[in-house]
Amino acid sequence: MTIPLNHTIVYASDRTKSARFLAEILGRPAPIRFGPFAVVELDNGVSLDFMTTDQPVHPQHYAFLIGEGTFDAIFARIRTRGPDYWADPHQQHSGAINHNDGGRGVYFPDPDGHILEVITRPYGSGG
* pLDDT, position 127: 66
Q: Which stretches of the chain score pLDDT less than 70?
A: 127
Determine the Cα–Cα distance for residues 27 and 107; give it in Å rounded to an integer. Answer: 16
Query: pLDDT tens digits, residue range 47-71?
Result: 999 999 999 999 999 999 999 999 9
**List of residues 6+ apart from 42 with CB closer than 8 A:** 26, 28, 48, 64
Looking at domain 7-119, which of 3.20.20.80, 2.60.40.10, 3.30.530.20, 3.10.180.10 is its CATH number?
3.10.180.10
* pLDDT, position 83: 79
Domain ranges in the chain?
Answer: 7-119
User: Over the range 12-45, which residues count as b (16 or more CB within 10 Å of their CB) and which as e?
Assistant: beebeebbbbbbebbeeeebeeeeebbbbbeeee
